[in-house]
C-alpha cells in the first residue's frame, strides 16, 4: 500500500544542511497499523510528512496505492492527498468553526454539495461518538473530543490511509486509550491502512501490527510488534521496551557486578519471555519439580498483552550446584518460551527477596 524507497531528506538551515532522513526503506501493507517510533529529532515527523508530500524528499520514491507521489504536479498531489487523511498532536482545528463545520471543511474545499456533505458528516459524527456535539466549538471540547473531530475530519474524504502524527501525545493515559481504541475500530471497520508515529512504546504495543524503530534518520530495526518486543536487537529498541516493562531487579540485585562465569554464592539470573498459550504454562513449577537440588527465586514478573496475544516476562534467580543449574537451563530451552541468561550476580544484603 505504501512503499518508501531510499528516502532522504536534507533541510537547509542557517547553520548548514541538516540530514533528517538518510535512506529509509519501508513497506506498509494494506490494512495494517504500522508504528514508527523514535526519540525526539530522530526524523519521525519528517518521514510521515514525506508520505503525503507535505515534505518533499530530497531523494527516493514514495509510492502510495500504486502511485508515485514524488513525480506528481501540485494539482495531481491535491487529488492524491484525498486518499491520505492525517491527524496531529495539537488537533489543528478551526477554532471559529463548529464541530460539524470542521468535519465538513475538506469537503467544502473540494466543492461537495451541502446535501452530500450532510450525508457524510452525520455518520462520521456517530462513528467518532460526537453526535451530540455537532454545534459546539473546539473551545467547548476536551482534548480527546478535539482529536475525535480531527479523526472525523481526516476521514471525510474517505481516505485509504490515515497518518497519525503523535496523535495521542497531548492526551492523558485514559483518553489516549480511548483514542487508540477508536483508531483500531476504524482500521477494522473501514479497512484503513494506518501509520502511527510516536515516542511511546505503549502506543505501539496497544494497536500496531508492525513497528519500525528510527534513530538518527535511519531505520534501526523493524518487524512485527511481537518479534521486536520479544527479541529486540538494538540498544535503542531495548531501551524503549525496558521503559515500558520496567523490569527492574529488586534493589538487592541492582548495581552489582554481573559475571558471565559462576561466582561463589551468586545467583544466576535469567530473563524468561512467554508468548501466547505458553504464558499460562506452569513451566517453572515443572523445572522446580525436576531439579529439587536448585533453588529458584522469582525476582520480577509481569503478564501483559500485545494486541490480543498474552505476553509474560519474568526474571528468576537460581542457586545450587552448577551442573544442575546448567541442566535446568537446558530444560528451559526445550520449553515453549524464550530464555536469556543475564549472568551471575551476588545479593548486596542478607534480607530475603
Ligand atoms: N524545517 C526544518 N528545517 C531545518 N531542520 C529541520 C526542519 N524540520 C526538522 N528539522 C530537523 O530534522 C531532524 C528531524 O526532525 P523531525 O521533526 O522529523 O524529528 P522527530 O523525530 O519528529 O522529532 P520530534 O519527536 O521532536 O518531533 C531534527 O534534527 C530537526 O531539527
Answer yes or no: is 350 within a domain: no
Q: What is the pLDDT of residues 141-157, one digit of tens each?
A: 999 999 999 999 999 99
Residues 326 and 191 grouped into a single domain: no
Model pLDDT for residues 320-338, shown as the tens digit of each residue: 999 999 999 999 888 888 8
Residue 316 structural domain: 253-345
**Is residue 232 domain-shared with residue 141, that is, in the same domain?**
yes
**Do both 236 and 257 map to the same domain?**
no
Same domain, 109 and 134: yes
Same structural domain, 204 and 318 = no
Mean pLDDT, the chain, rounded, equals: 90
| CATH assignment of the domain containing 285 | 3.30.70.260
Domain count, the chain: 2
Distance 37 CA to ligand 1 centre (A): 14
Taking residues 22-48, what's their average pLDDT? 96
pLDDT at 208: 95
* pLDDT number for residue 248: 60
Which one has a higher pLDDT value, 311 or 83? 83
pLDDT mean over 57-83:
94
pLDDT at residue number 320: 92
The residue whose CA has the least distance to atom 18 of ligand 1 is: 43
Both 285 and 152 in one domain: the answer is: no
Give the domain CATH number at 59.
3.40.50.300
Of 218, 243, 268, which residue constitutes the final position of a domain? 243
Q: Which of 14, 16, 44 maximizes ligand 1 atoms within 8 Å of its Cβ, making it the mutation to test the pocket?
A: 44
Looking at the structure, do residues 44 and 135 belong to the same domain, yes or no?
yes
Ligand 1: centre distance to CA 45 (Å) = 7
The mean pLDDT value for 87-95 works out to 94
Average pLDDT over residues 113-138: 96
Min mean pLDDT across 19-28, 162-171, 245-254 is at: 245-254
Q: What's the gap in Å between 103 CA and the centre of ligand 1? A: 29
Are 279 and 312 contacting, i.e. CB atoms less than 8 angstroms apart? yes
Q: Is 352 among the domain residues?
A: no
Same domain, 40 and 184: yes
**Residue after which a domain boundary falls, among 224, 243, 262:** 243
* pLDDT tens-digit readout, 204-253: 988 999 999 999 999 999 999 988 987 889 999 988 887 766 546 777 77
Q: What percent of the chain has pLDDT over 70?
A: 96
Shared-domain flag, residues 131 and 265: no
Amino acid at each position: 500500500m505504501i512503499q518508501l524507497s531510499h528516502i532522504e531528506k536534507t533541510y537547509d538551515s542557517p547553520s548548514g544542511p541538516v540530514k533528517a532522513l538518510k535512506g529509509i526503506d519501508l513497506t506498509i501493507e494494506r490494512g495494517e497499523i504500522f508504528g514508527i517510533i523514535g526519540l525526539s529529532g530522530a526524523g519521525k515527523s519528517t518521514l510521515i510528512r514525506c508520505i503525503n508530500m507535505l515534505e518533499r524528499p530530497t531523494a527516493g520514491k514514495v509510492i502510495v496505492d500504486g502511485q508515485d507521489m514524488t513525480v506528481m504536479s501540485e494539482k495531481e498531489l491535491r487529488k492524491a492527498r484525498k486518499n491520505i487523511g492525517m491527524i496531529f498532536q495539537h488537533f489543528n482545528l478551526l477554532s471559529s468553526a463548529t464541530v460539524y463545520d470542521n468535519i465538513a471543511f475538506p469537503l467544502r474545499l473540494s466543492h461537495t454539495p451541502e446535501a452530500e456533505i450532510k450525508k457524510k458528516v452525520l455518520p462520521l459524527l456517530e462513528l467518532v461518538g460526537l453526535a451530540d456535539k455537532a454545534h459546539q466549538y473546539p473551545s467547548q471540547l476536551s482534548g480527546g473530543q478535539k482529536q475525535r473531530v480531527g479523526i472525523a475530519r481526516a476521514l471525510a474524504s474517505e481516505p485509504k490511509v490515515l497518518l497519525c502524527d503523535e496523535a495521542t501525545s497531548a492526551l492523558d493515559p485514559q483518553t489516549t486509550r480511548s483514542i487508540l481504541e477508536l483508531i483500531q475500530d476504524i482500521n477494522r471497520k473501514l479497512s484503513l491502512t494506518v501509520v502511527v508515529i510516536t515516542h511511546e512504546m505503549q502506543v505501539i504495543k496497544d494497536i500496531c501490527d508492525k513497528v519500525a524503530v528510527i534513530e538518527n534518520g535511519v531505520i534501526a530495526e523493524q518487524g512485527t510488534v511481537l518479534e521486536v518486543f520479544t527479541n529486540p536487537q538494538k540498544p535503542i529498541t531495548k531501551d524503549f521496551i525496558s521503559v515500558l516493562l520496567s523490569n527492574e531487579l529488586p534493589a538487592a540485585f541492582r548495581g552489582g557486578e554481573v559475571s558471565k562465569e559462576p561466582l561463589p554464592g551468586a545467583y544466576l539470573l535469567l530473563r524468561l519471555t512467554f508468548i501466547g498459550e505458553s504464558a499460562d504454562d506452569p513451566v517453572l513449577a515443572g523445572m522446580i519439580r525436576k531439579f529439587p537440588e536448585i533453588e529458584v527465586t522469582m525476582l520480577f514478573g509481569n503478564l501483559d498483552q500485545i494486541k490480543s496475544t498474552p505476553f509474560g516476562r519474568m526474571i528468576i534467580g537460581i542457586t545450587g550446584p552448577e551442573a544442575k543449574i546448567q541442566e535446568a537451563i537446558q530444560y528451559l530451552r526445550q520449553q515453549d518460551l524464550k530464555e536469556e541468561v543475564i549472568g551471575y550476580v551476588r545479593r548486596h544484603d542478607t534480607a530475603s527477596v
